[in-house]
Structure 1
Amino acid sequence: MSTSSSTQSPDMEDRGRRLVIRACDMCRKKKIRCEPTADTCEQCIKYRTLCHFTPISVKRKPRRLPEQKRVEELEKRLKSMEEQLRRANQGKEVMRIADERDALDNLWEEGLSNFESRISLEGSGIPDGRRSLMTMDPMAEQRFASNPDWRITNVSNMFSRKVFKPLPSKQEAIILVSKAFDGFNLAFPIFDQHDAMAMLDYPEGGHHEPSHWACLNVVLALAHRFRSIKKMDNQIDDREAWGYLQNALAVAPELTLLEARLSSVQALIGMAIVIQGTPNPRPFGTLISQAIRMAQNLGLHRKNRDPSLTPREIEQRKRVFWTAYFIDKENCLRTGQPPAQDDDEMDIEMPSEMLDNTMEFGATPDVNFFSFRVKLALIQGQVYRRLISVKAEKQSVTRRMVEVKRLEGMLAVWRASIPINFSENYKVPGRGRPLIPPIIHKVILRMNYFSTLNTIHRFSVPVDKWRAELEEGMDPEKAAKHAPPPPIVCVEEARNAITLMHVTPNGDYSCIWVILHMFVQATTILLENILSDPTHRCAPSDLKLIEPLLILLCSLAQDGKNEEVAAMYQSCGAMFEKTRERVRNATENDEQRRSSLKERGMGQGNESLAEFLRRIDSVSAGLDDEGMQIVEQPFVVEKVDFPVDFPHLGANNLGMSRVG
């Protein structure tokens, strides 16, 4: 067995091996063609060399057995089955992820609905026991990250919406909407009459659309606020207005999260206007900034390029933007914060000077309050840019004074273009009586003009010490010694502004909260002017003009609704008492001086140099010998032109007008 096996093993090895003899050693070495013969080759015979052939062993790949092909085929089929199983498992995973995503979307809608319904407008806003959606589901964060088409949709409806004040009947709502347009739309034409009346056709329970629901409640709140001024009974109407405002504020988070719409911008502006006339206007700046951002998303700040819009829709879009614009600029000057809309990032046209009947509900044909406030807001934007901004703080004093003169010229041209007598004392039945809407808007317009003029001169010279003293509070003694006297033009305009106190309602009214800080500015200017010259003949009359404001501040401070009002009353009251004491001492010293002159034998008909100069100052200030205002006849301004570098207010936008 062993012998046979040993003899078979070399044979098995030779099967996979073949001996190849093709060339002799010499031909293979020289790499020439070998031509073998019987015993040698032609090349070796030619070169007379020994011809020797060395066998070369070449391994061949053994032939595959039939069973090996079967194994390879089975392996290939196995891999194919594994690939099919893997694809099937992937399809099931996709379906599982889709089901989990749908469930997560339902959870998101339910969570936001609960969040919206828990908003408390009288408390801190959201209960302390709230949980975010991420903490409710540990895998939520990972699923949100892997969800490519996640989007926020309408998160509530009329059934889950928090309603603080039920809507009135449609007949009563029509009356209230008409009242809102009769007065409010004179200066704030953010709503169209046709659209407002169409909003009254709401289903049972209110509008499903959050923006329409908010607009309807805002219009009702504005109607009650303006009706309270006319009736001079603000308790019932203010309570009704507050309920409708709560309804609108309840959907404010939805308006900011959902897709931007024109009705959403209108609702946010309306809410800001209502809150501005309240004792706590802190959300005012946030709402108006959000309204402008949303208006920018809609392209309201650019020229219209949509051919599908009608002329009425284009005009309405412009009015909505410009209303938000001038409210933002007024708040900018009041707070000193940057505006939400940059003048360099807008090219929208000015609103139309002529209002059609659908937008001019209740307006007077001679005074377009909306257009005047828009043009004033353009100047206010330049005031912030040239005097208050961070870049303006780095200007030299000379450059700043040049800007002050240019801004004064713009403001003077604006005033000359308005058919309103800024020295007029409006005749009303008496303080505390109902006011007519045009008079209210005239008062607000005049106070905004005074505030702009005062801001120009207040920031005329960038002295950090004065600004720090203003932030610390008023000190009459320190102000009299270090602060410069206010300009004569500011003193005259402050006197004209403070005289409007007798036509404003005395109490917690919306118009009072809008212009209260402007009255305080006028009071401060008059008191500083008296401190600089206590012997001036206008000092006693100016003190009498200030007394109604102190009475109003006292009543508002006692209500305790606003801490800032209490601080105003304390500072103005202390400054008023010390100023009155200084005037009393100056008057006594003047009387003693006069009596001493009489004892020395000087005639009563002789006038001293100081008395002569004081009388000249009184005449130049427009006062007679009794300290009363001299009424001058109005004059006609033939032509008014704005400076060339102020493109928004040109001669085409202004016409000839009569001023006093």
Structure 2
Amino acid sequence: MEVAAHARRRKACDFCVSRKIKCDTLKPTCSNCRLYGVECRITNATNTSRRKAPAIPPPFDENTPAASASTPPDQVSAIEARLANIESQLAQLVRDKRPPSQSSSPQSGQNIPSLSFKNFPEAREYTALDMWNEGSTLPCIGFSPQPISDTVILTSGQLELPTLPELLPNVDNYFHNYNRYIPLFEQSTFMRMLLEWYSSPSRQAPVPWAAINVVLAISYRVIDDMPIDDPRLAQCIRNLHSATTHLMAWNQNFLGLQVLLGMVILFQGTTDPQLAIVLIGSSMRLIQSMGLPSRRGLVGLSSSEALQRCRIFWIAYVLDRDLALRSKAPYTQLDGELDLNPPPEDVEDGTGFVTSSTDSVRFNYFRARVDLAVIQGKAHDILYSRRAQKLSREQRLQNISRVEQMLLTWRTGIPAELLTAEGLYRRLSPIPIHLMMNMYNRHLECLFRIHSIFSFDQDWLNRVRCYLSPMVIELREDEVDGEVIHSGLTPLPRGWTECVEYCRLSLEILTSGKQTEYSIWLNACCTVSSLIVLLVNIIEFPDHEFIAVDQNLIDQTRGLFEQMNSKASEGRFFLLQVAQDLDRRARGQVNRMTQINNFSFLDA
């Protein structure tokens, strides 16, 4: 916790004071600031007002009367002079400790540095070893304890946006290509707010400003595949960080909540989704306090207002379940504590539907994501809840079978034409393809989890690494390796064949078209797990009918991640090295089987 020298006796940080909540004064970050993801500090007080500074109260003492006499003016002047001296010394100390490359201060209007993840510790670009270090308990997720940099705290007069003609094409891009499937905002309401912003400068406020920024950021990053350090996207992200406190406190309508959910969408597609996890927890608490999980809040609303209110809740519900399963952390919204109906099977405007451009195929994507989120919650319950740890093996297997059946029933609701990579790319535009790929990967992650073959689970990883032992596979110089020795290996899990099929589909969708950086990082954990599964399947069954297809998918996927790795870090993803070693064993087994078949042909 950063504390000004004059305020060391104060009991609460700035954020807790502004929210009028109790501060536990934990260092370096109090619990409330950690929860809301804001910087924990006590700001230097400078006399910017013409009024006399109020008296500085003595340290709190329960025996001291609540009211105290005012401090004499001469004492106030002495205190102010002392504060000015302390602030000058602190500023000098900061300059002395600043690295040489940062010694010069930015000019006015350029006081925020170009964006890189090191400027945002919660969403920093983790090195490969940070992200997928084999020693990490959650190698798919990086954690950062540092607070938000003070360079992104919102100040007066900082609510700047591009000109309206420059901004409108990006807003239209967002609503046409993304919001029609993930209806976070109601377009007419948003456009009215946008026009009011530009027509009434005196009424501009941080939360509508942040809403415009989050729409721009999603348009830049998710749709246009803009790199994270592009100045336009970087400025949007800085603006969103600076408005976080205002978003948490906004109670006029759902706009602050909608912006927070947009930030979750934005930050879950990075190398470190920890900020998304923090934000979704805060968002769900806001949702519960606003009564969104209950039908009672719909009383008296028009049909369009009620529909948008429900859509906001279900978007948050899906994000909550996605990130809970991804992080093995409890989800916030319990099914037993909501009574909303799921999204309708059909809507007049087609919002949430994926529609083919070549035939009549039509699919309610939004409803399917909500239905899958319910199953994700069930999978989380049987695997990671405290109650699940007390179940016998038989009870656990029964519960897993129920989830398997739920996933099977869910899959039958998807049109067969959209269950292949070729069908998706022939019928859909890029954004629906990316959304469908993400949905399939979330389904696949459920299968990975319940069958214990997720590549970030230590037991499965230990079994995979057994193939690298010379006691299991003898490597030979001619790359015609020895047969796999199974005596020390546990059997492959049940449902293996089904998982292999869906892993193949996942990599086919990934490699059949151009992917955005956002989409790659959003699906990275499932993609790498699918890669490992296909390699293990070749090692175990080196003569199966899809050998050539799978080897091509493996080569393309490894090449894609090697390219991404070279951009993100000088280190190497831990699992990429494992995949490379497995690939050598897989090719050795295919060569062995080819040699056996050739000898059999000659003998015949």
> Of residues 370, 382, 387 in structure 1, which corresponds to 2:383?
387
Tell me, in whole angstroms, the C-alpha distance in 2 between the residues paired with 1:176 and 1:404: 45
- Deviation string for 1:433-483 (max 9, x for gaps)? x953222222222222222222222289xxxx9744538984533697424
Q: Does 1:221 align with 2:217?
A: yes
2:306 corresponds to: 314
1:371 corresponds to: 367
1:548 shift after superposition: 0.9
Q: Aligned with 2:421: secondary structure? A: coil
Q: Does 1:401 align with 2:397?
A: yes
Tell me, in whole angstroms, the C-alpha distance in 1 between the residues paired with 2:491 and 2:569: 34
> Of residues 507, 515, 529 in structure 2, which corresponds to 1:498?
507
Q: Is residue 500–residue 534 contact of structure 2 (8 Å, CA) maintained in 1?
A: yes
* Equivalent runs, 1:125-164 vs 2, <5 Å: 137=56, 139=58, 141=60, 160=156, 162=158
**Structure with more contact order per residue of length (Cα contacts < 8 Å, sep ≥ 6):** 2
- Deviation string for 1:314-348 (max 9, x for gaps)? 11111111101111111122221111212222222
Q: Is residue 262–residue 295 contact of structure 1 (8 Å, CA) maintained in 2?
A: no
Tell me, in whole angstroms, the C-alpha distance in 2 between the residues paired with 1:427 and 1:309: 41
1:51 corresponds to: none
Q: Does 1:470 align with 2:461?
A: yes
2:586 corresponds to: 579
Q: Is residue 441–residue 526 contact of structure 2 (8 Å, CA) maintained in 1?
A: yes
* Equivalent runs, 1:312-351 vs 2, <5 Å: 312-351=304-343
Compare 475-484 and 364-373 and name the one that shifted more. Answer: 475-484
* Equivalent runs, 1:457-536 vs 2, <5 Å: 457-458=451-452, 467-468=458-459, 470=461, 474-477=465-468, 481-486=488-493, 487-506=496-515, 509-536=517-544
1:437 corresponds to: 431
Q: Is residue 379–residue 410 contact of structure 1 (8 Å, CA) maintained in 2?
A: yes
Amino acid at match of 1:501: L
1:553 corresponds to: 561
> Of residues 164, 188, 192 in structure 2, which corresponds to 1:198?
192
- Closer, same or farther: CA 305–261 of 1 in aligned 2, 3 Å: closer
Tell me, in whole angstroms, the C-alpha distance in 1 between the residues paired with 2:440 and 2:343: 21
1:273 corresponds to: 265
1:259 shift after superposition: 4.3
- Closer, same or farther: CA 441–250 of 1 in aligned 2, 3 Å: same
Tell me, in whole angstroms, the C-alpha distance in 2 between the residues paired with 1:109 and 1:382: 39
Amino acid at match of 1:495: R
Q: Is residue 534–residue 582 contact of structure 1 (8 Å, CA) maintained in 2?
A: yes
Amino acid at match of 2:184: I
1:417 shift after superposition: 1.4
Structure 1, unmatched stretches of 5+, are 1-103, 113-123, 148-155, 604-660
1:142 shift after superposition: 6.1
- Deviation string for 1:223-245 (max 9, x for gaps)? 2224414xxxx349954223212
Amino acid at match of 2:176: D
Q: Is residue 181–residue 353 contact of structure 2 (8 Å, CA) maintained in 1?
A: no
Compare 350-359 and 386-395 and name the one that shifted more. Answer: 350-359
- Deviation string for 1:574-628 (max 9, x for gaps)? 2222222233234334434544xx1xxxx4xxxxxxxxxxxxxxxxxxxxxxxxx
Tell me, in whole angstroms, the C-alpha distance in 2 between the residues paired with 1:549 and 1:447: 15
Q: Does 1:242 align with 2:234?
A: yes
Amino acid at match of 2:552: K
- Closer, same or farther: CA 312–458 of 1 in aligned 2, 3 Å: same
* Equivalent runs, 1:589-628 vs 2, <5 Å: 589-595=596-602, 598=603, 603=604
Amino acid at match of 1:533: F
1:377 shift after superposition: 0.6
Q: Is residue 444–residue 502 contact of structure 2 (8 Å, CA) maintained in 1?
A: yes
Which protein has the larger Cα radius of gyration, Structure 1 or Structure 2?
Answer: 1
Tell me, in whole angstroms, the C-alpha distance in 1 between the residues paired with 2:180 and 2:462: 36
- Closer, same or farther: CA 473–276 of 1 in aligned 2, 3 Å: farther
Tell me, in whole angstroms, the C-alpha distance in 2 between the residues paired with 1:205 and 1:278: 34
Q: Aligned with 1:444: secondary structure? A: helix
Tell me, in whole angstroms, the C-alpha distance in 2 between the residues paired with 1:268 and 1:238: 22
Tell me, in whole angstroms, the C-alpha distance in 1 between the residues paired with 2:312 and 2:154: 27
Amino acid at match of 2:573: A
Q: Aligned with 2:295: secondary structure? A: coil
1:258 shift after superposition: 5.1
Q: Does 1:296 align with 2:284?
A: no
Compare 553-562 and 243-252 and name the one that shifted more. Answer: 553-562
1:89 corresponds to: none
1:501 shift after superposition: 2.1
Q: Does 1:544 align with 2:552?
A: yes
1:4 corresponds to: none
Tell me, in whole angstroms, the C-alpha distance in 1 between the residues paired with 2:325 and 2:566: 28
Q: Aligned with 2:166: secondary structure? A: helix
- Closer, same or farther: CA 157–537 of 1 in aligned 2, 3 Å: closer
* Equivalent runs, 1:29-48 vs 2, <5 Å: none
- Closer, same or farther: CA 227–441 of 1 in aligned 2, 3 Å: closer
Q: Does 1:415 align with 2:442?
A: no
Tell me, in whole angstroms, the C-alpha distance in 1 between the residues paired with 2:424 and 2:354: 20
Amino acid at match of 2:318: F
Amino acid at match of 1:575: L
TM-score by length of 2: 0.67
- Closer, same or farther: CA 532–211 of 1 in aligned 2, 3 Å: same
Amino acid at match of 1:390: R
2:246 corresponds to: 254
Tell me, in whole angstroms, the C-alpha distance in 2 between the residues paired with 1:402 and 1:326: 25
State the superposition RMSD in angstroms. 4.1
Amino acid at match of 1:271: M
- Closer, same or farther: CA 111–528 of 1 in aligned 2, 3 Å: same
Tell me, in whole angstroms, the C-alpha distance in 2 between the residues paired with 1:331 and 1:425: 26
Q: Is residue 485–residue 529 contact of structure 1 (8 Å, CA) maintained in 2?
A: no
Q: Aligned with 2:224: secondary structure? A: helix
Q: Aligned with 1:351: secondary structure? A: coil
